[in-house]
Amino acid sequence: MMTLGSVLQALRNDPDPVALLSEDFDLLITARARAAADSRGETLGQYMHEAVAAFLDHADEEEWAQLVGRLQNGDCSTATCLNLMLRRRLRLEADGAAAA
């Protein structure tokens, strides 16, 4: 069974963020994340690390319940977890840009 610890370990150990996402590759999310990273002068790996840190520090109860539920059901790969965290960051940044 996948655990959050294994996701974090994979992120620390694999220097290629696209390889980590390959199990559940979402071209749209990856392209949006790469564009967002480029606009900040970051690599996709840096952007992904920040998305994970932001999730760990600021995700609300519903977001945690969604992640934990998927982990418990066994239908959550490392890539699925990372995509969930990337989607959250992209959504929040889009909401912030819309509010500005």
Q: Is the pLDDT of residue 97 over 70?
A: no
pLDDT digits (tens, 9 = 90+) for 33-78: 999 999 999 999 899 989 999 999 999 999 999 988 888 887 778 8
- Shortest CA distance to 29 belongs to which of 51, 54, 12? 51
> Is residue 100 a part of any domain in this protein?
no
Residue with tokens 């949006």: 32
Average pLDDT over residues 81-98: 88
Q: Show the domain range for 22.
A: 4-94
Local confidence band at 1 (pLDDT 50, 70, 90 cut-offs):
low
Q: How many domains does the structure of the chain reveal? A: 1
The residue among 68, 75, 86, 87 whose CA lies nearest residue 5 is 68
Q: Residue 99 domain-assigned? A: no
- Other C-beta atoms closer than 10 Å to the C-beta of 25 total 11
Residue 33 lies in a domain: yes
Q: What is the pTM of this model?
A: 0.83
